[in-house]
Amino acid sequence: MKISRKLEYACRVLAQLGQQGLGGSLVHIDRLSEAENIPSNYLVQILNSLRIKGLIVSKRGKQGGYALAKNPDQITLFAIVEAMDPESLKVSCGREGDSGAQVAEVWDTVSGRWIEALKERTLESLIAKSDSKMYYI
């Protein structure tokens, strides 16, 4: 399975926003870009998609920035994938030939389990993993 860069960046920036907490202070795009090493011109597109899908809120201006629209435990990985890379949720497998139907059925099952797993896991799990990193001097 290949995760698109756009989806990876979206997960990283949402985890970064999640560390601020719901209703926490707005985070400026420059801070997000620097913290996650994402080019700001590309990050604008990602943040706009996340805002349109209702996963984040934004405020313009000098005191503006971005924050989560929901608690991290209410944002599923499925919602993130659906917002950023919905084509990756589709299985494209022909049913031609003697074995085509059986092969397609297996891939449909695998796809269904992947979607179930995405729906079971939330942004909170990404935040918990990133919070647990330890740095030693």
DSSP for 112-128?
A: HHHHHHHHH-BHHHHHH
Top-confidence residue, 131 or 14: 14
Structural class in CATH, domain 5-89+122-131: mainly alpha
Burial, 52: exposed, middle or buried (Cβ in 10 Å; 0-12, 13-18, 19+)?
Answer: exposed
To the question of pTM greater than 0.75 for the whole model, the response is: yes
For the chain, the average pLDDT equals 88
Neighbours of 49 (CB within 10 A): 16
The sign of the CA dihedral 134, 9, 12, 60 is positive
Closest listed residue to residue 115, CA positions, set 77, 83, 85: 77
Give the model's pLDDT for residue 97.
82
pLDDT digits over 21-78, tens only?
Answer: 666 689 999 999 999 999 999 999 999 999 999 999 999 988 889 999 999 999 999 9
Given pLDDT bands bounded at 50, 70 and 90, which one contains residue 135?
very low
Task: Indicate the pLDDT class of residue 131, thresholds 50, 70 and 90.
Answer: low
